[in-house]
Amino acid sequence: MVAITSGKLLITGGSGYLGAWIVKRAIDRGYSVVAAVRTDSQGQFLVNRFPEYHGKVSYVLIPVIEKDGAYDEAVKDVDGIIHAASPVIFKWDDPEAEVLRPAIRGALGILESAHKYGKNVKRIVLTSSSAAIGMPIERDGKMVRDEASCWIYISTSHCA
């Protein structure tokens, strides 16, 4: 694939932790960004988060990433795609149905849309999800949300 050093990027999951940092890094490097978000309030928050880049950040609503054709319109006029959207659920009943299948379907969906409608797309980057490392851990009755507080516990508790 061709390296791109300027142009417009579609960043999925743009309002999430990783996605927002990717948006910032992209606009700092001179790209214009279209962030794919699930709700209008997430999009407005993101645009308002970077007032110094007025006109360089916009958003498109993709409420359900696993829906067929969800990204068809969003990929049409972008030069590159960074896919950082994935379900983030801390407690689930059925991880395959609630996390795995939607994440896979979302990733396949963005690739299918880019193939069909992304005539200007020169590069696609797929990221992983924190869900890839396994189920969230509770320690002392609290949900662990950072590596530093649980790293040794995680390592030793999963060793044979």
- 48 touches 69 (CB < 8 A): no
What's the pLDDT score for residue 153?
A: 47
Interatomic CA distance for residues 30 and 133, integer angstroms: 33
**Closest C-alpha among 116, 106, 49 to residue 83:** 106
Boundaries of every domain in the chain: 8-128, 133-160
Residue spans of the chain under pLDDT 70: 1, 90, 130-139, 141-160
- 56 touches 27 (CB < 8 A): yes
Q: What is the pLDDT of residues 104-113, one digit of tens each?
A: 999 999 999 9
Q: Which CATH superfamily hosts domain 8-128?
A: NAD(P)-binding Rossmann-like Domain (3.40.50.720)
What's the pLDDT score for residue 150?
A: 47
